[in-house]
Amino acid sequence: MDFDMLGLQPRLVAKLAEQGITAPTPIQTQAIPHAMNGRDVMGLAQTGSGKTAAFGLPMVDALMKAGVRPNPKCANALVLAPTRELAKQIADNLTAYTGGSHLKVALVVGGAGIVGQMKRLEKGVDLLVATPGRLIDLLDRRAVRLNETRFLVLDEADQMLDMGFIHALRRIAPLLPANRQTMLFSATMPKQMAELAEAYLTDAIRVQVNAPGKPVEAISQSVHFVAQAAKFDLLVDLLDAHRDELALVFGRTKHGMEKLSKQLAAKGFAVVAIHGNKSQGQRDRAIADFKAGRVRVLVATDVAARGLDIPDVRHVYNYELPNVPENYVHRIGRTARAGADGAAIAFCAPDEMQDLRDIQKAMKADIPVASGRPWEGEGTDKKRPNGGNGGGRRRFGGGQGGGKPAASAKPAGQRRRSGGGNRARSNGRAA
Ligand code: AMP
């Protein structure tokens, strides 16, 4: 199977070949022909599956064929992404596909000057990649109109649910023509996603490469049962054992991760942290340094690292388990990209037992134990030493074997665990 068999025009196929992209990935094989036929697409695929090309190529192909210049302040296609980094990555990919054609790609995200972005939009663009907040700003300033936008993509849509972008979407979507083509891509399929698809897609074809919530098979997973206070030394040992390889370390809170990165630096690791308190420039630099191998350990919170395409990460450490099970899948999806092998190593402290159970339940599989034993008696009333600041997670009741997960009608990020316990509750803000 190659790209011209999917119906893409020869010059686009040639452009891809220049970038070493010759054989479509499974999600591309499944999605592209339908998208080229104008169908709405709901794609269940993780970062690393080639999903950007799966939605990007059909749009680029259609816009190349149409050959219509955009009207002033209009965008012919709109891609919404939850984070600035992901939006930039998508814009970079689209720019690579469109190189040498008349098509113009623009990126509008927060953290960068709005005036320059307004200028860029003045003459209109073919493909606009945006984070929802900045797009709304630009709409409010009448710098852009969406009434001629024929393609809408919602990428990493599950993350958008987590981040409350649903409200933004409610404002943005009605501004587009009803007869647009809409594509929604998501790594997981929480119940709310079906509602989102129902609201914004029409007669969508559903494509998927991995079972929902099931990580790619090339990742070897393991869990260490380790007390919070012993996690740091274990991490240092494991990082030491793979000195030459890139490692990504996930935790929950900005402060906790900042502190961890300083502690690792003090141990001589070339390390950098990305989280919500870092400026856009610092985040971009950190990722560029990591990709180039100038730093070897990237410490991150979920939001900061979401959707990043970092090809050579061999080890992903869950220094703290995410309290949203879907985020575990997202985190470990950072490794084993493009068919490479990768390892996902989780650290589970006593008060993370319920998080671990939730993750295993969502994946319908147990994570093999690397050291220690599952904690017993978890669920007693105690505070959790959490990366130094005690914050960053929401704990709601749930004694041992007690509280069932609450019905997931709420966005994953807002889900509460119900149950009879009276655990300490901390309300630190994650990421
Ligand atoms: P994505 O899942 O869209 O973030 O893509 C992950 C990475 O795979 C990106 O670096 C793409 O350039 C690359 N890629 C996408 N499609 C292909 C393909 N068909 N063959 C090889 N690499 C690809």
Strands of 187-237, DSSP E: 205-208, 219-225
Residue type, 128: L
Residue 3 is given by DSSP the state G
Contacts for 161 with CB less than 8 Å, ≥ 6 apart:
190, 192, 193, 196, 411, 412, 413
What does pLDDT average to over the chain? 83
Q: Is 56 helix (H, G, I), strand (E, B) or coil?
A: helix
Q: Where in the chain is the domain with CATH 3.40.50.300?
A: 3-208, 219-414
Atom of ligand 1 nearest to the CA of 309: 4
Q: How confident is the model at residue 1 (pLDDT cuts 50, 70, 90)?
A: low
Tens digits of per-residue pLDDT, 166-181? 889 999 999 999 999 9
- Is the beta carbon of 47 within 6 A of some atom in ligand 1? yes
What pLDDT sits at residue 215? 54
The predicted model scores a pTM of: 0.64
CA end-to-end distance (rounded Å), the chain: 41
CA of 5 to the centre of ligand 1 (A): 18
CATH class name, domain 3-208: alpha beta
Pick the CATH number of 219-414 from 3.40.50.300, 3.30.420.40, 3.90.1150.10, 3.40.50.2020: 3.40.50.300
- The residue to mutate among 5, 52, 90, having the most atoms of ligand 1 within 8 angstroms of its beta carbon, is 52
* Residue-level pLDDT at 325: 84
Test site for ligand 1: of 25, 27, 29, 60, most ligand atoms within 8 A of the Cβ: 25
Q: Is there a contact between 253 and 386 (Cβ–Cβ < 8 Å)? A: yes
The answer to whether the CB of 392 is under 6 A from ligand 1 is: no
Is pLDDT of 426 > 50? Answer: no
32-to-1, 26, 279, 383 alpha-carbon distances in Å: 13, 10, 36, 50
Average pLDDT over residues 234-261: 93
- Is residue 408 over pLDDT 70? no
From atom 16 of ligand 1, which residue's Cα is the shortest distance away?
A: 50
d(CA 261, CA 249) in angstroms, rounded, equals 9
